Chains A and B, each alone.
Chain A
């Protein structure tokens, strides 16, 4: 049978995109945990190697990834609570949009100052301290 016509992207709303973001952040967190388990396990092999690996993480790029990780974990956990509310709270399905916006609001509220504090050291190292 010939391939079914694919067509355009389905224009889902809050529910669909929060699900997509949940999947994406979930996969990203899985990859982090994979690397995290490996590098932490290294401390049992040799504390010296462990320290050397940790030193390679002290770069601006990894710092950015850390910010991404905190954001991903934050979104994934809050949206996880939203999904549970949809499942178990009788009125959950009716308030799913409001809950989506609440999740986004909390993520932004935490991440905007959070990014500042997490990146402060890196920015000062790269461009010099203002104080």
Chain B
């Protein structure tokens, strides 16, 4: 347990501090083999993000709460979790958008489909393995050019959307197919493949398309659009997957 913060709060600050209840899915296999819910009342200010509330729990109420976060500004992609039933980044959602009604609890759970290690921390290895399997690096033939590889603005625009990925796994773990079939590559790996397949400078498109043409590749996608809804960067994930499917059907990149 961490010591409680009993510093006095100024009247001006206290005026707009309200209390919200977080209902967090706790899991610690060393203590209890079953996961269970624990609620915390957290004082929040207007404009606080869910991550601020989680910090309050960890720093002032229960230091044993485990979650990942790094940059805390929606760039590193560490704190993807299931918030009120949908995958979001804790650092990007505002409390005021979650607890819209008085006394409404905010549900916080780990992302689904990856093995939970503790509380909100999951083992990301299966996710990274899928990422590596689509060869997420530039593949070229022949001699290296003496100057940079140029590309027209139109060619760059083709894969602009999929360059935004921060690998938070919100899309992959929102996918009903991925929950039941962990050998499916998942939306993120396909997004990353899309980023290289449609890059005019890259020459590994055939290779990657072959990988995604496998049984556990793009054809597993059932277009539920959970991934598109979950992506904190606003990538049109399902659209990217469909573009890969079409590239495979019509053999045209």
Which A positions have Cβ atoms within 8 angstroms of B? Answer: 1-16, 19, 83, 86-88, 92-94, 96
Contact = CB atoms under 8 A, between A and B. Distances in A.
Interface stretch (B42-50, B55-63, B150-158, B225-233): B225-233
A5 B27 CA distance: 7
Nearest to A7: B109
Interface stretch (B3-11, B81-89, B128-136): B81-89
B25 A83 contact: no
Contacts of B107: 8
Nearest to B250: A88
Contact of B34 (A2, A16, A86): A2
B239 A4 contact: no
8 interchain residue pairs of minimum CB distance:
A15-B225, A5-B35, A11-B85, A93-B239, A7-B109, A2-B33, A16-B224, A19-B224
A88 B222 contact: no
Of the four ranges (under 10, 10 to 19, 20 to 34, 35 or more), the interface on chain B belongs to 20 to 34
A1 B117 CA distance: 10
9 contacts: A3-B34, A5-B27, A10-B82, A11-B84, A11-B86, A12-B86, A12-B225, A16-B176, A87-B223
B191 to A, nearest CB: 13
B18 to A, nearest CB: 24
Contacts of B246: 87-88
Interface string B88-128: 00000000000000000001011010011000000000000
Interface centre among B25, B107, B223, B229 (most CB of A within 10 A): B223
B228 A10 contact: no
Given A86-B238, A88-B246, A94-B239, A5 B109 contact: yes
A23 to B, nearest CB: 9
Contacts of B203: none
B234 interface: no
